[in-house]
């Protein structure tokens, strides 16, 4: 990997990057959300339910979930309020800002796993909270998953500056902290709001847990998949009475799970190197120093 491939080495953005996010998965997520938003409007104008059949089937309705419609734990995250444009605009802009960098950091498969799991956990948290409060108010929107991306970005790049409303420069760590604090205050004191703050808090909690875990979701599911498969029966071998002996040669074999783990570690290493380049090595946390040690051990193993 050359220096031009590092995240902290950036030439000026080209026209394409100014129009759409660099991440492949981010582009598709934004396109799907916009497409579903358009379909919501079409369904709303042609169907008998007041909000249309799309909302009727896919919104996060606690009563419907309790009757067995568990797909709503995830499907709600691709719906948005059709009463205005700003709900989907803000969610897609934040997905663009924070998601594209994280997709480059984690890779496509890990990023989509983070996004979908965070949205699902937000849905589970909302339904659980609704049952506790005996509330049947439905929920929709991608803001829970987007909150996960915001908090993860703040943890990886705390000194990065974002421009609130395109004007006011704010460190991303402060923006994330204020956002989570506002939601926590509304949740703790039962402040009346049209925002499902419990979904935001679930997304923020998942982001912190994932960052501390330092694991790989895709690798975890891959190992579980192979573990559940039955062992293959040994194949019959032909007996050769005069075998041809050859000098044994040692070959280093890297398992697919190890390769995925190394790739994930290299992605985290890029973020640490970016931080060192911008603020110096003394600014590293204990967790980031551990990433450097793990990377050194990985490269030493490869040389061996």
* Tens-digit pLDDT profile for residues 205-237: 999 999 999 889 998 888 766 555 555 554 545
**pLDDT above 50: residue 298:** yes
The CA R_g of the chain, rounded to the nearest whole Å, is 24
Alpha-carbon span 78 to 33, nearest angstrom: 5
Q: Is this structure's pTM higher than 0.85? A: no
Which residues make Cβ contacts (< 8 Å) with residue 60, sequence separation at least 6? 72, 73, 75, 76, 123, 126, 127, 138, 139, 140
Distance, C-alpha 140 to centroid of its chain: 18
Q: Taking each helix axis from N to C terminus, what angle separates 143-156 and 108-133, rounded to the nearest 10 degrees?
A: 120
Which residues make Cβ contacts (< 8 Å) with residue 172, sequence separation at least 6? 150, 153, 154, 157, 158, 159, 160, 161, 162
Phi, psi of 10 (to 5 degrees): -130, 125
pLDDT at 90: 93
The conformation of residue 281, written as its DSSP 8-state character, comes to G
* Tens-digit pLDDT profile for residues 161-173: 988 777 889 999 9
* Tens-digit pLDDT profile for residues 256-270: 556 656 677 777 887
Going from N- to C-terminal start, the domains of the chain cover: 21-217, 256-304
* Tens-digit pLDDT profile for residues 272-291: 787 777 777 777 777 777 88
Query: According to CATH, what is the number of the domain 21-217?
Result: 1.20.1540.10
């Amino acid at each position: 990997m050359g220096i031009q491939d590092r995240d902290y080495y950036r030439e000026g953005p080209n026209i394409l990057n100014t129009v759409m996010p660099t991440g492949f998965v981010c582009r598709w997520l934004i396109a799907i959300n916009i497409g579903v938003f358009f379909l919501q409007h079409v369904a709303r104008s042609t169907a008998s339910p007041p909000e249309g059949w799309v909302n009727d089937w896919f919104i996060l309705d606690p009563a419907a979930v309790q009757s067995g419609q568990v797909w709503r734990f995830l499907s709600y995250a691709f719906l948005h309020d059709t009463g205005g444009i700003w709900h989907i605009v803000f969610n897609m802009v934040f997905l663009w800002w924070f998601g594209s960098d994280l997709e480059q950091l984690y890779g496509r498969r890990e990023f989509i796993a983070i996004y979908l799991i965070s949205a699902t956990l937000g849905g589970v948290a909302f339904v659980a909270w609704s049952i506790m409060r005996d509330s049947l108010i439905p929920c929709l929107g991608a803001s829970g998953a987007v909150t996960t991306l915001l908090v993860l970005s703040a943890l990886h790049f705390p000194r990065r500056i974002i421009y609130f409303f395109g004007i006011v420069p704010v460190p991303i760590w402060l923006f994330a902290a204020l956002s989570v604090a506002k939601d926590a205050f509304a949740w703790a004191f039962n402040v009346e709001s049209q925002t499902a703050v419990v979904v935001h808090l679930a997304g923020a909690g998942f982001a912190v847990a994932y960052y501390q875990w330092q694991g790989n979701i895709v690798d975890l599911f891959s190992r579980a998949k192979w573990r559940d498969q039955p062992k293959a029966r040994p194949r019959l071998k032909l007996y050769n009475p005069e075998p041809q002996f050859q000098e044994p040669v040692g070959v280093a074999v890297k398992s697919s799970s190890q390769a995925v783990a190394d790739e994930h570690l290299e992605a985290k290493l890029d973020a640490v190197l970016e931080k060192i380049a911008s603020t110096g090595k003394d600014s590293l946390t204990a967790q980031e120093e551990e990433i450097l040690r793990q990377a050194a051990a990985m490269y030493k193993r490869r040389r061996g």
